[in-house]
Amino acid sequence: MPRDLSHFVSGAHAPGRSGQFGDVFDPNTGEVQARVPLADRREVEAAIASAAAAQPGWAATNPQKRARVLMKFLELANAEMDPLARLLSSEHGKTIPDARGDIQRGLEVVEFALGIPHLLKGEFSEGAGPGIDVHSIRQPLGVVAGITPFNFPAMIPLWKIGPALACGNSFVLKPSERNPSVPLRIAELFLEAGLPPGVLNVVNGGREAVEALLEDPRVQAVGFVGSSPIAQYIYETCAKHGKRAQCFGGAKNHALIMPDADLDQAVDGLIGAAYGSAGERCMALSVAVPVGQATAEALMARLVPRVEALKVGLSSDDQADYGPLVTGEALARVRRYIDIGLEEGAALAVDGRDFRMQGHEHGFFIGGCLFDHVTPSMRIYREEIFGPVLSVVRADSYEEALRLPSEHAYGNGVAIFTRDGKVARDFASRVAVGMVGINVPVPVPIAYHTFGGWKASGFGDLNQHGPDSIRFYTRTKTVTSRWFTAASENAFVLPTMD
């Protein structure tokens, strides 16, 4: 019998009251393991009200004390790393080592936010005019919200929660209904760490819950990660309602392989970046671009046996390269794209569609797939597949290869494999993509730099984590002060710096 999950509001678990539920699957078996309540507008409004009531007291807590709560949360989360990873793996399908990485990359952003006493320091100008000083201060926005995806159920929520709470905001999280248990556990751990009840609330739900967050005037800012059409919709809706928004969408990340590249290193990078986590990453490398036909042939000669040798296994198998996809719907979507690629004329060099996990035939498994001779006009090149599928697009020259990621609708991440520093420097300068890796296949920046894509991969002026996160979750107030030593003769004149 599937267990019933809950929301987390005002520091306690709250059962769903809408009467609507979603299924949480075990990706290894295809069976429903839990039911998650889908909040209606009234339930979301109750969570917002809780956050609004708790926020002034949290904002009045000095930054150092707020950082201590985050520090205690880190201690608790690290102590519970293995149970959290198993829980994440059981609902998502990524392997347990991969799940640990999901959690760790989220915790690193919380570690960055521990520096909030320094990060919130403003600016000061003494003697800006006769007896005039000017200083700026950064203050929290109030209630903020996060709408986060299934593929990183720990990392993305923590990327948003950590900086937002450190800045003095309260937070309403709407995680993916496909794997909500880790976000709920994160809320429990923050409460145990000393976060006041109501400062962090978790509501599960679908479109009605999202619309409630977007339209409620008490919510000052929204962070989103998901598909590009939804990212653009949320960005536009937030703008209509006068909210800040940082919305991140899809990707089609390319890797250029230059003729001078270390092909063994390049193939190692491609295998991990394209097939890790079953390709369900916005930073997955899904397009390999060998430069020159000789490079292409040599690359394919190494890639084909490596893809054929990928070990697909249960998410609990530490030796597996990757596990199942998250749902049957996700599996069907990937299969459709492979059919589309064949219809469009791409060569399927490795076909993983017939893979079945013995004893788990109803699980959401698929073997690694590799397309060759893909062209920019094909849908499998233009659209995000979000599965263990790598497409090879052959380029005759560096300039042709450079144009491919630069002219693609998405602009999240890109990589180049080369031994030539001049080429690497030119590529990093000219490519029209937000995050660049040089001999680094998955160029996710470290926590104290910022993460964000260009073009249809990102909507909004500020990115995730790093200094941008502090700017996003605060507003600047500038104070001009003057202390008179004698009566002013120009009381009706605008003060100047003279």
Start-end of H helices in 17-62: 41-60
Start-end of H helices in 167-256: 181-192, 207-215, 228-240
Residues 6+ apart with CB under 8 A from 371: 341, 346, 347, 348, 349, 380, 389, 390, 391, 392
Measured between alpha carbons, how far is 423 from 44 in angstroms, rounded to an integer?
51
Long-range contacts at 13-21 (CB < 8 A, ≥ 24 apart): 13/184, 14/43, 14/46, 16/43, 16/204, 17/42, 17/43, 18/43
Question: Closest by alpha carbon to 371, among 398, 397, 353?
Answer: 353
Measured between alpha carbons, how far is 486 from 127 in angstroms, rounded to an integer?
17
Question: Closest by alpha carbon to 46, among 76, 89, 67, 16?
Answer: 16
Start-end of H helices in 40-154: 41-60, 63-79, 81-92, 96-113, 116-119
- Has 282 been annotated as catalytic? yes
Looking at 233-334, which runs of residues are DSSP E strands?
Answer: 244-248, 253-257, 285-290
Give the angle 109-91-333 at the CA atoms, nearest 5°: 100
Pairing of strands 143-147, 170-174: parallel
Question: Closest by alpha carbon to 152, among 25, 284, 36, 12?
Answer: 284
Residues 6+ apart with CB under 8 A from 205: 37, 38, 39, 40, 43, 44, 174, 177
Residues 6+ apart with CB under 8 A from 250: 227, 228, 282, 384, 410, 412, 456, 457
Catalytic residue among 238, 247, 282, 369: 282
**Catalytic residue numbers, as ranges:** 282
